[in-house]
Amino acid sequence: METQKIGRLVIARHHESEWNKLGKWTGVTEVHLSPFGFEQSKKMGELIKDINFDYIFDSTQIRSQETLQGMLEVSKNNANVPIEKAKELNERDYGDYTGKNKWEMKEILGNEEFMKIRRSWDHPIPNGESLKMVYERVLPFFLNRILPILVEDKNVLIVAHGNSMRALIKYIENISDEEIPKLEFEFGEIIFYDLDKEGRMVDKEIKKV
């Protein structure tokens, strides 16, 4: 029996911010897109202009909102779609590492600890969040708020952050705790999902500027 598909889910990560350009851990700090990030966000809009969305979600952080704004400047057919800003979709809190240069910290911490901080599932960060903690706020919001819209056969766009979207992808693609460190979600990358009624992946397509 064929799995019944629901509305299409499209997820995007914000493009390059001023702190991304400098190699700093940004986390919950409010930082604008870099000039390059603004430019590329419009190119991201080209990738979604063939889809008519019924609802859009983004985080409460400015770099996500600026990326969405750039996308909608190009994808004009979606310019009047309702937008909901949700703190549950905000970036991971990097705690004591916030604002520190990643590559300088790699030299101090060593590669193994550095990679655990960046990518692992449940590695503690002083006064910050692990990816597991991000998952524990993203997933209930997805299941309780976003999935019911998709089940109504409506198309949804989410524009958020690398780690909040990695947490969501973990659920959608049923990625194990051991495999999640391998998952990257890069700037300019947009994932187009077909899901089942539980929000699990049936099919996907990746596009990138």
Give me the domains of the chain, ranges plus CATH numbers: 9-208 (3.40.50.1240)
Catalytic status, residue 136:
no
pLDDT, one tens digit per residue, over 95-105 is 999 999 999 99
Please give the Cα distance from 18 to 177 (Å, whole number). 31
Question: Per-residue pLDDT tens for 89-125?
Answer: 999 999 999 999 999 999 999 999 999 999 999 999 9
Q: How far is CA 9 from CA 24, 57, 105, 148, 158, in A?
A: 30, 11, 36, 12, 8
For the CA atoms of 144, 150, 154, 159, the dihedral, rounded to the nearest 10 degrees, stands at: 80
Identified catalytic residue from 14, 15, 88, 161:
14
Among the listed residues 91, 129, 161, 189, the single catalytic one is 91
pTM value?
0.95
From the list 198, 161, 169, the residue with the least C-alpha distance to 4 is: 198
Per the annotation, the verdict on 91 as an active-site residue is: yes
The most distant pair of C-alpha atoms in the chain lies apart, rounded to whole Å, by 55
